[in-house]
Chains A and B, each alone.
Chain A
């Protein structure tokens, strides 16, 4: 079933079509909301709020953009509003002690690639809100720059700049971690703590 058929089924009041829509787009919503709010315990409520808004505003959906872009916009705005409600707006998590601890057990001579993947995933969570949002939308959900502009309201240039900077930060951290000398330094600092 394509999105147009799905929407017409929903407007006709078919509840199974709504279950189908939720199943189809729940990963998209959970990725966006999860990366923005970073709270597993409240994630389900936020995602539920997103889909209820989707249902209530179906009449206002125009085929000008893809359904996924429209749902992603609702997910982004709902998650940002959630952060505003709990007064966590624009806070950057500066506490990377957990990641440092994980690094202390890291062996530069015999690490696995999966360790590096895990390390990068942890580092993405420590990035500022807008950086991790555009990374998720561009790399994970494969939205175009124009679509990200539509979802977040950020100009295309800003989106590109955030993407570039976020990747540069992550690459620097990755370089640092595979360098044995740097790692030794981290272990020393970690032991001092």
Chain B
């Protein structure tokens, strides 16, 4: 076989596609994965914004009460201090329920849908 023929064969082979393959619906799968990631981030940031807003609102209301009725605020503060453990537990539980509602359950359902 002549040198030119060998060169031609080599050039053609180099342009031939390798036998690596992706699944037929690869593009859809990647898009779905990107959408899910975005959803998870957006859910988490929504939760954080809402929590921060609620805490801010609580602080603002406390500030107003501090000016309007200082006595009541002091009584609430004393009550909270004397019941620190149950109040903390209640706050954490409520916060977790909120997190589950806004983020965790949505994530769980999306995973469950993916499996089925």
- Give me the interface of A with B, judged by CB distance under 8 Å: 15, 18-20, 22-23, 26-27, 30-31, 33-35, 40, 43-44, 47-48, 51-52, 55, 113, 116-117, 120-121, 124-125, 135-136, 139-140, 167, 170-171, 174-175, 178
Q: Across the A-B interface, how many residue pairs have beta carbons closer than 8 Å?
A: 95
CA distance A139 to B65 in the complex (A): 75
Q: Chain A residues near B33 (CB, 8 Å)?
A: 48, 52
What are some 8 contacts across the A-B interface (CB < 8 A)? A15-B34, A18-B30, A19-B30, A30-B22, A43-B22, A117-B16, A135-B14, A171-B10
Q: Smallest CB-CB separation from B37: which chain A residue?
A: A52
Chain B, 25-57, CB within 8 A of any chain A CB:
26-31, 33-35, 37
Chain A contact surface mostly? helix
**Contact, CB under 8 Å: B26 / A116:** no
The docked-state distance in angstroms from the alpha carbon of A53 to that of B100 is 28
Residue pair B10, A167 in contact (C-beta under 8 Å):
yes
How distant is the Cα of A23 from the Cα of B23 in the complex, in angstroms? 12
Find out whether the CB atom of A35 lies under 8 angstroms from the CB atom of B18. Answer: yes
5 additional A-B pairs beyond A27-B17, A139-B15, A171-B7, beta carbons within 8 Å, are: A117-B13, A121-B16, A140-B18, A167-B10, A171-B10
CA distance A113 to B13 in the complex (A): 10
B37 to chain A, nearest CB (A): 7
Asked if B6 and A120 sit within 8 Å, CB to CB, the answer is no
Find chain A residues with CB under 8 A from B7 CB: 171
Assembled-state Cα–Cα distance A44/B24 (Å): 11
Could you tell me if B20 and A30 are in contact, using CB atoms closer than 8 angstroms? yes
Contact assessment for B22 and A113 in the assembled complex, using a CB-CB cutoff below 8 Å: no
Do A121 and B30 form a contact, CB below 8 Å, given A15-B35, A174-B6?
no
User: With A26-B22, A44-B26, A47-B26 in contact, do A18 and B34 touch (Cβ < 8 Å)?
Assistant: yes
